[in-house]
Structure 1
Amino acid sequence: MPRHDSPTVIVLAAGRGERFARSGGVAHKLDALLGGLPVLEHVLRSVAASGLPCHVVRPAKGLFTQTDGMGDSIARGVAATADAAGWLILPGDLPLVRPQSLLAVAQGLVMHPVVVPLWHGRQGHPVGFSQASRAALMALGGDVGAAAIVRAHRQAETLLALHLDDAGIATDVDTLNDLAQAEAMFAARTAPQKARHGKC
Structure 2
Amino acid sequence: MSDGPVVIVLAAGLGRRFRASGGEGSKLQADLHGKPVLDHVLATVKRSGLKHHVVRSADGDGMADSIAAGVRAAASASGWLILPGDLPLIGEMSLHRVARALADQPVVVPTFEGNRGHPVGFTRECFEALAVLRGEAGAASVVQCYREQGRALLLPLDDPGILTDVDTLDDLQCVRDLLDASR
Listed one character per residue, the Cα deviations across residues 128-165 of structure 1 (whole Å, up to 9, x for unaligned) are 00000000000101222100111111111111111011
Q: 1:184 is matched with which residue: 170, 177, 181?
A: 177
Report if aligned partners of 1:116, 1:127 keep a CA contact under 8 Å in 2.
Answer: yes
| Percent identity over paired residues | 55
Q: Which runs of 4 or more aligned residues in structure 1 lie more than 2 Å from their structure 2 counterparts after TM superposition?
A: none
Q: Which structure's residues are more often helix, by fraction?
A: 1
User: Partners of 1:137 and 1:166 in 2: how far apart?
Assistant: 26
User: Partners of 1:142 and 1:157 in 2: how far apart?
Assistant: 25
- Secondary structure of the 2:61 match is coil
1:58 is matched with which residue? 56
CA shift for structure 1 position 22: 0.5
User: Partners of 1:187 and 1:59 in 2: how far apart?
Assistant: 32
The structure with the largest alpha-carbon Rg is: 1
User: Partners of 1:36 and 1:6 in 2: how far apart?
Assistant: 32
1:105-124 matches, within 5 Å, as 105-124=98-117
User: Partners of 1:72 and 1:34 in 2: how far apart?
Assistant: 27
CA shift for structure 1 position 33: 0.9
2:61 is the alignment partner of 1:68: yes
Equivalent pairs counted in the alignment come to 182
What's the TM-score, normalizing by structure 1?
A: 0.89
- Secondary structure of the 2:104 match is coil
Q: Which runs of 5+ in 1 are unaligned?
A: 61-65, 192-200
- Secondary structure of the 2:95 match is helix
RMSD after superposition: 1.0
2:44 is matched with which residue? 46
Q: Which runs of 5+ in 2 are unaligned?
A: none
